[in-house]
Amino acid sequence: MAQQAGKILPVTPLERPAFWATFLGWGLDGFDYMMYTLVLAAVIGAFHLTDASAGFLGTATLVMSAVGGILAGTISDRVGRVKMLVFAVLVYSVFTALSGIATSYGEMLVFRGMEGLGFGGEWAVGAVLISETVRGDLRGRILGIVQGAWAFGWALAVIASDLILPHAGAAGWRIMFFIGILPAVSVFYILKRVPEPKLWTAESHQKKATRSSVSFFKIFERPVLRRTTFAALLAVGAQSGYYAIFTWLPTYLKIDRHLSVVGSSGYLFVVIVGSFLGYVVSGYVNDWLGRKGAFFVYSICSGLIILLYTHFSISDAVMILLSFPLGFFASGIFSGFGPFFAELFPTEYRGAGQGFAYNFGRGIAGFAPFFVGLLAVHFGLAGGISIFGPASYLLCIISLLFLPETRGIDLATIGTGPRQRAVGAKGE
């Protein structure tokens, strides 16, 4: 089985352990996070929450995930990618399971916030680990396949909810959270099979000799401040557009368009399949068109689909069809972040740079649903979505103009000297 997988997947035997570790991590990450959206109605009923209180649970998770990503990325520059990945997986799986024993809103808020801390840390460290392990010419497509694991986790969450929630009564949502402990099992595989990347090991020995400072502060120094700034804005744009779509679009289609298909398992699976293919294809597009070209294509298409949803009458049948490109482009754009951000920063502070840029975007994007709601007061929900969503993807396009193309770069060549200017890539 392993030999067959090796023939299908573009990874070598040396790259395979890191690939499966991050693939499992992302997939179980998706399972844990999307599970909450599926049990939210039951949680609201159990604790008699208002919509605002329930919404704040989601916001707390996202904000803490931003904090977790920044902290985990920075700490991984010091202690290692593998150790920090193990810690992040343990945190998000344990606190997801603890959510199942919550007896009050306050306890649930704490557990969900801590789950977010590990959730954000897992992506930040996993993306760096796999980026530093795989070959530069295949980095995009390999990270695209890894990113596709999120869709598998999402699908498993939907299947679990269909099997458990209708039959377990009032305890169904608690059982769902208990299942969230399963990712902890992957820790044994990670510790036994996954080595630290040679790039980090070499850099670690050098740092011990020079007693270098905390990596987080270096991403704001002059040689890389421009990259840090516009990479973070790119992440703000893509994630704001995503949260605006997937938070408000189901409500808009149900209430304004009266489409009964939205929220059904059939609809969700079409979106999930679209998301998976979007992730994987985006990885190949990243290696074909380059990092910037892929982001341009996915940003433009995502913005256009939002306009299509909000300005044209859509029947249930057409809705099912359009949910595929919705998942394909709005989700697929995320496959570019892993390789692109890893290629923007030197090994010495790659974890800090990648962790900050992506998770700063996540933290700011957590307010996207709120701003859509503000716009909806004056322009209606369709107007709010159609203004904010495309504007978010326009921010992506503008940010790309100030970033270099990095496709295929050897991560070991990225330095901070006056000639390299922390680059080693085209465009600066």
Q: Domain with 36 in it: what CATH number?
A: 1.20.1250.20
User: pTM of the prediction?
Assistant: 0.84
Q: What radius of gyration do the chain's Cα atoms show?
A: 21
Q: Which amino acid is at 191?
A: L
The verdict on residue 42 lying in a domain is yes
Q: Which residue has the tokens 């004056």?
A: 378
Q: How far apart are the C-alpha atoms of 37 and 246, rounded to whole Å? A: 11
- For residues 226 and 402, the answer to whether their CB atoms sit within 8 Å is yes
Choose among 325, 308, 30, 69: nearest CA to 180. 30
Q: What residues pair up with 405 in beta bridges, in sequence order?
A: 426
pLDDT in tens, the chain (428 residues): 444 444 556 788 888 899 998 988 888 878 877 888 788 888 888 888 877 777 788 778 888 888 999 999 999 998 999 999 999 989 988 999 999 999 999 999 999 999 989 888 888 898 899 999 988 888 999 999 999 998 888 888 888 888 998 888 888 999 999 988 888 888 888 888 899 998 888 776 665 544 456 778 889 988 889 999 999 999 999 999 998 887 777 777 777 777 666 666 677 788 888 999 999 999 999 999 999 999 999 999 999 988 887 887 767 677 777 778 988 999 999 999 999 999 999 988 899 999 999 989 988 887 887 788 888 888 888 888 889 999 999 999 999 999 999 998 888 887 644 334 444 445 45
CA atoms within 13 A on the CB side of 195: 11
Choose among 72, 79, 74, 60: nearest CA to 25. 72
The verdict on residue 8 lying in a domain is no
Sign of CA dihedral 55, 275, 117, 217: negative
What is the DSSP secondary-structure string of 63-90? HHHHHHHHHHHHHHHHH-HHHHHHHHHH
The verdict on residue 421 lying in a domain is no
Provide the token pair at 332.
């697929």
Question: How many domains is the chain partitioned into structurally?
Answer: 1
Q: Which amino acid is at 110?
A: V
Choose among 328, 148, 299, 294: nearest CA to 238. 299
Sign of CA dihedral 410, 130, 148, 70: negative
The verdict on residue 187 lying in a domain is yes
Give, in order, the Cα–Cα distances in Å from 123 to each of 72, 127, 358: 9, 6, 9
Task: Supply the DSSP symbol for 426.
Answer: B
The verdict on residue 177 lying in a domain is yes
- For residues 92 and 33, the answer to whether their CB atoms sit within 8 Å is no
| Domain housing 30 | 16-192+214-413
Provide the token pair at 39.
């049990």
Provide the token pair at 83.
């150790």
The verdict on residue 74 lying in a domain is yes
The verdict on residue 208 lying in a domain is no
CA dihedral 339, 345, 351, 356 (to 10 degrees): -90
The verdict on residue 11 lying in a domain is no
